[in-house]
Amino acid sequence: MELKTFIQKHRDQWNRLEQSLQEVTKGGRAKNPEKLEQFLSSYQKVSHHLSFCQTYYPNEEITTYLNELVGKAHAILYRDQVNSSQQIKTFFGQTFIRLLIEQWKFVALAFVLFLVGGLGGFLAIINNPLNLYSVLPIEMANAIDPSQLGKNTENIDSPLMSTQIMTNNIQVALLAFASGITFGIGTIYLLIYNGIIIGALAAVFWQHDKFYDFWAFIVPHGIIELTAIFIAGGAGLLMGYRLLVPGSFSRIFQLKKQSLRSVQLLLGTLPLFIIAGIIEGYITPAPISLEWKYGVALITLFALIFYIGWGSLSLRRKKTTALPD
């Protein structure tokens, strides 16, 4: 059976399961036996559709959609058997990792856009230092003083600074994600512009022989912080792409679906922003050697690699038994 024919034949059944999910969630299972029966019937049928797609269309978008739909139904069906701590563990150990792996190409694209902006900002300042006032906001450009890097850190209010940094970074991530509704144009702009700022700053410190020092104050928190921003940016790019190329579904459907996926990805980045904010508020300004700061950066890098790698292996082990027959 051709994929298009398969979708047209069974789309109504999938819509019924989505509607049953909403009704069962609102009404409660015990109070709505008829709705529960309809829900179970739809769940079983769509589970068979998922098995069919996993066999014949493993790399198609429809398989991902059905996997998520059946997964939601499964979670509702067994929600009374799972406590909140288990739900949190499942989300960060499986759901978030799965979503991240599925959209890794868009996360990589977000990184490339940031890198392009960074390289452009760096070259612009290296070629002509006066370009700094064209590239950066005037207030930021005037405030840069490489000779003061790392000085007067004892006057920093670390708790306040950490909170402000976390709030700002989360706002940037939200904006990068939400800009996906502009067909990704706003997200592309934000990623490139933020890259330009970092590149321009790096060029200034390069010119003052403070390049090594500059990155020592950036990478301890920057590895986690930028990774989270790339994930949020990737979510926005994915949304923009699906709006431009909706495939077999309508743009409204893609908007709803990708918005839900992106919100889940954003929730998954919150701990990353919290950790990055704590590092930037307490460790970055701390009076420790630059080598120790780079050491912290390596620890965060290895921790990220371990987390994603461990999650990926767990998903592979559970792939064949994730859903009941």
Catalogue the long-range contacts made by 301-308 (C-beta closer than 8 Å, 24 or more residues apart). 301/223, 304/223, 304/224, 304/227, 308/97, 308/100
Contacts of 263 by beta carbon, 8 Å cutoff, 6+ apart: none
* Rg of the Cα atoms in the chain: 23
In whole angstroms, give the CA distance from residue 58 to residue 7: 14
Q: How far is CA 23 from CA 116, 152, 275, 289, in A?
A: 47, 59, 38, 59
Same domain, 116 and 213: yes
Total of domains in the chain: 2
Same domain, 203 and 237: yes
Same domain, 10 and 155: no
Same domain, 38 and 122: no
Same domain, 275 and 310: yes
**How would residue 30 be classed by pLDDT, with cut points 50, 70 and 90?**
very low
Contacts of 233 by beta carbon, 8 Å cutoff, 6+ apart: 107, 110, 113, 114, 173, 176, 177, 187, 190, 191
Q: Classify residue 97: in a domain, yes or no.
A: no
Q: Classify residue 93: in a domain, yes or no.
A: no
DSSP line for 281-317: IIITTSS--HHHHHHHHHHHHHHHHHHHHHHHHHHHH
Q: Residue 100: is its pLDDT beyond 60?
A: yes
Same domain, 163 and 257: yes
* pLDDT average, residue stretch 56-68: 80
Q: Classify residue 96: in a domain, yes or no.
A: no
pLDDT digits (tens, 9 = 90+) for 287-324: 888 899 999 999 999 999 999 988 888 777 766 544 44
Q: Classify residue 323: in a domain, yes or no.
A: no
Same domain, 263 and 182: yes
Q: Residue 209: is its pLDDT beyond 50?
A: yes
Same domain, 240 and 141: yes
DSSP line for 311-323: HHHHHHHHGGGSS
In whole angstroms, give the CA distance from residue 27 to residue 185: 40
Predicted confidence at residue 35, as pLDDT, reads 65
20 neighbors 39 (Cβ within 8 angstroms):
yes
Same domain, 187 and 218: yes
Same domain, 76 and 110: no
Q: Classify residue 325: in a domain, yes or no.
A: no
Extract the tokens encoding 81: 């058997």
pLDDT digits (tens, 9 = 90+) for 33-58: 566 667 777 777 888 888 888 777 77
Q: How far is CA 266 from CA 233, 241, 271, in A?
A: 10, 18, 10
Q: Residue 114: is its pLDDT beyond 80?
A: yes
Domain of 161? 102-316
Q: Single out the residue of 38, 31, 33, 40 nearest to residue 76, CA to CA.
A: 40
Predicted confidence at residue 99, as pLDDT, reads 86
Same domain, 265 and 131: yes
Q: Classify residue 202: in a domain, yes or no.
A: yes
Q: Classify residue 322: in a domain, yes or no.
A: no
Same domain, 152 and 107: yes
**Is 0.85 topped by the overall pTM?**
no
Among the ranges given (23-32, 246-255, 301-310), the one the predictor scored with the smallest mean pLDDT:
23-32
Q: Classify residue 94: in a domain, yes or no.
A: no
In whole angstroms, give the CA distance from residue 42 to residue 20: 8
In whole angstroms, give the CA distance from residue 5 to residue 180: 30
In whole angstroms, give the CA distance from residue 74 to residue 76: 5
CB burial readout 216-254, b (16+ within 10 A) else e: bbbbbbbbbbbbbbbbbbbbbbbbbbbbeeeebbeeebb
pLDDT digits (tens, 9 = 90+) for 152-168: 555 544 455 556 656 77
Please identify which residue in the block is written with the tokens 């403070």: 210
